[in-house]
Amino acid sequence: MDNKSQRIGKGYFGRVLHVDLSTSAISYQEPDEAFYQKYLGGLGLGAKVLWDRIKPGVDPMGPDNVLGFTTGLLTDTGSLFTGRFNVVGKSPLTGGWGDANCGGHFSPALKRCGLDGLFFHGASPEPVYLYLDDQSAELRSAAALWGGDAAETEKQLQARYGNRAHVACIGPAGERLSFIAGVCNDAGRLAARSGLGGVMGSKKLKAVVAAGTRRVGVADGNRIQALSKAFRKRLEGRKGLKRFLGDRLFGFMGWATRKGPLYTRQPPDLWRLMLSKYGTAALTAFSAESGDSPVKNWGGVGYRDFPLNRSQKIGAEAVMKYETKKYGCFSCPLRCGAFVKIPDGPYPIEKMHRPEYESLSAFGTLLLNHDLQTIFRVNDLLNRAGMDTISCGAVVAFAIECFENGILTSNDTDGLELRWGDGGAIIKLTEMIIERQGLGHILADGVKLAAESIGQGSEAFAVHCGGMEAPMHDPKFDPGFGMAYSCEPAPGRHSVSSYMLLDLERLDRLFRGAKKTPAFMTAKERYRYDNKGEAMALGSFFRMLVDAAGACTFGCQVGADIPLIQWLNAATGWNFSDQDYLVIGERIEQLRHAFNVREGLNPSRDFRLHPRISGHPPLDKGPAKGVSLDLEGMAEAFYKAMGWDLSTGLPDPERLERLKLDEVVAALHPDRSQRSGA
């Protein structure tokens, strides 16, 4: 590989690798500048390649699916919070667009191989891994690695190639083609959602090893450094709240929780303090109490079924006692991650990532389990197996409720008694799911398929959004999550947009003309949607930009006005306005949605929220008592803002033309395309 693309100096290499695993053929795509100006990179690159190269109707677990890894345009340019990678492919869970996102150190390592992304086609007859460095891209046998857990696989590959090499790999869950498997890096951090670890397993691809040393060039490195320095200063300089609260952070949060609405509208400074001290574990007890966390498989109420004296046992302060060391992803000044050590007890663990809020809630609040030791154990098992903790928690909850209601008996569970809050049974069932043993075989592909297989009315307990298990934020508490879970191209995702996220991101400060979301909403306003579509759409476009840049969403939520657009211009040498970047964000969003429509999916029909999520019937107690979400009203508002037809999902062709997505017009509106002679 020559150094030509590096000399371009625009934050990207202009080089994308395609590997055909069926034939071992390797080829390069060299997108021009116009491509990057349209799609930026990262998730945008993934969306364009998948649109171009996946034929509609292919089996997600078959060789015709394409699995991509993309790094962000800003990754390794000197910008901050920009070390995340995306994994993309057709999702086996939804049958449509799939993506997952992860921090750690794999993304810059991949970029240092002189690549903006790599895509796998076909399927290998034997287990392989891809080795990459400055010069090479080689498929090598993974026979000796197959069967190993994710942490062990990474360790072995780093022993072979040195610590400079970073590894993305699957564990046994991906090898066993679980639909809820993810892709790991940094010894158990997962790009968890969409079931793309199972897709990787279907291709017999165990790992990607990135051992490059190339540094991408940028247009104005000094400007990037100056922007980063000023941003860091803004982050560090906002100490007022910290000084004021001191050790009273948790006391303040307790008060805010009781005030409910304030908790949903938490100041970014507070969120930053919580993240840097406790990580996302900070949310656990408060979310259980406030109505944010789903309780007892979405049928319970925090303060009745899992009150503070229980949720605090799995809350941040309980978790902190085991913390050994904080860490951050590549280029992160906030460092919200930490390792823990469990020195004794029934499940000692030498070193493990501190569980995130989603995992603590999915194996705690959702299952009425306040035994932290068992959550640690399950977290370690799933990180090593490479399985999504959200989805796995949801299938365990489903199985327990089926058992409690006599749909499953001990004959179906190999004698295991499944009861709420029984940590030992939860661990055993998790092991069975990972190993696809007995009932675990059915559960390993998610709740939707499990309910279809078990029948007997079990779908009442299979809580999902279009096949994707729902995250640990109840839309009855923040209806913005409901709009995102049910309308976004990747359904059931908590990281795209919500009222809370919009408030934290302060998009009115980043984009001209964007309205500031009100800090407080009356209950009536909270459940009114006709005036929320535009704001939620803006949140989606912004999120596309964030994922195209390779940025961390938390960096955008901590009250220091992340200079994303200025960094992008300094890296590329372009002089694009905030509005120009929003157009790019919308283009990526529309392309992902078009992918689904081409597959015959329409979110308002196919991603409809499970009745328990939407409150049909409503809960009888708690902060969300009596709330039933108007899903039609949500879809109407969001579709209008997006220009999507409510009954078919088809995107407005004029809007697609304005976005220069002519290939999408040709595929979805062939009559119009022929009339215009395109």
What one-character DSSP code corresponds to residue 162?
-
* SS3 at position 325: strand
Q: Least Å distance between CB 77 and ligand SF4?
A: 15
- One of 81, 106, 529, 541 touching ligand SF4 (CB under 6 A): 81
| Exposure on the CB side of residue 349, measured as CA atoms within 13 A | 25
* Nearest to ligand SF4 of 81, 529 (CB atom): 81
Nearest to 360 by CA among 313, 299, 308: 313
List the x/- string, 314-353, binding to ligand SF4 by CB under 6 A.
--------------xx--x-xxxx----------------
Give the amino acid at 238: R
User: Quick one: the chain helix, strand, coil %, rounded to 5?
Assistant: 45, 15, 40
Shortest CB 576 distance to ligand SF4, Å: 24
- Residue whose CB is less far from ligand SF4, 189 or 204: 189
Residues in the interface with ligand SF4 (CB under 6 A) total: 11
Q: Say whether residue 403 binds ligand SF4 (CB under 6 A).
A: no
Q: Which is nearer to ligand SF4, 329 or 427 (CB)?
A: 329
> Least distance in Å: CB of 188 to ligand SF4?
14
Say which residue the tokens 């919580």 belong to: 274
Q: For the stretch 447-468, what's the b/e string if a residue is b when 16 or more beta carbons lie within 10 angstroms of its beta carbon?
A: bbbbbeebeeebbbbbbbbbbb
Smaller CB separation from ligand SF4, 38 or 272: 272
Residue among 153 and 557 whose Cβ is closer to ligand SF4? 557
Residue nearer to ligand SF4 on the CB measure, 81 or 106 = 81
CB of 336 to ligand SF4, least distance (A): 3
Radius of gyration of the chain (CA): 23
The answer to whether the CB of 467 falls within 8 A of the CB of 202 is no
Pairing of strands 117-121, 16-20: parallel
Residue 9: CB minimum distance to ligand SF4, A: 25
As measured in angstroms, the least distance from the Cβ of 540 to ligand SF4 is 20
Hey, what long-range contacts does 341-350 have (CB within 8 A, 24 or more apart)? 342/373, 342/376, 345/373, 346/373, 346/377, 347/373, 347/374, 347/376, 347/377, 347/380, 347/427, 349/376, 349/377, 349/380
Q: At its nearest, how many Å lie between ligand SF4 and the CB of residue 332?
A: 3
d(Cα 342, Cα 52) in Å, to the nearest integer?
48
| Residue number with CB closer to ligand SF4 (256 or 336) | 336
Retrieve residue 450's tokens: 């499990």
Nearer to ligand SF4, 365 or 495 (CB): 495
Strand ranges (E), 406-526: 464-465, 468-469
End-to-end CA distance of the chain: 37
Query: Please, which residue, 319 or 334, has the CB nearer to ligand SF4?
Result: 334
| Identity of the amino acid at 468 | M
**In sequence order, which residues have a C-beta less than 8 Å from that of residue 159 and are 6 or more positions away?**
none
Whole-angstrom Cα distance, residue 551 to residue 545?
8
Select 107 or 369, whichever has its Cβ closest to ligand SF4: 107
- Distance separating alpha carbons of residues 49 and 548, to the nearest angstrom: 13
Give, as ranges, the residues between 533 and 562 that touch ligand SF4 (CB under 6 A): 552, 554
Q: Pick the closer one to ligand SF4 by CB: 103 or 479.
A: 103
Min CB(335)–ligand SF4 separation in Å? 5
Which CA distances in Å does 145 have to 129, 259, 261, 452, 534? 9, 52, 50, 34, 49
Q: Which of 11, 103, 172, 482 binds ligand SF4 (CB under 6 A)?
A: 103
**Residue 49: CB minimum distance to ligand SF4, A:** 25
Least distance to ligand SF4, CB of residue 74, Å: 12
Q: How far is the CB of 268 from ligand SF4 (least distance, A)?
A: 13
* CA–CA distance, 125 with 662 (Å, rounded to integer): 37
Contact code string over 571-600 relative to ligand SF4, x by CB under 6 A: ------------------------------
Please give the residue ranges that form the binding site for ligand SF4 (CB under 6 A): 81, 103, 328-329, 332, 334-337, 552, 554
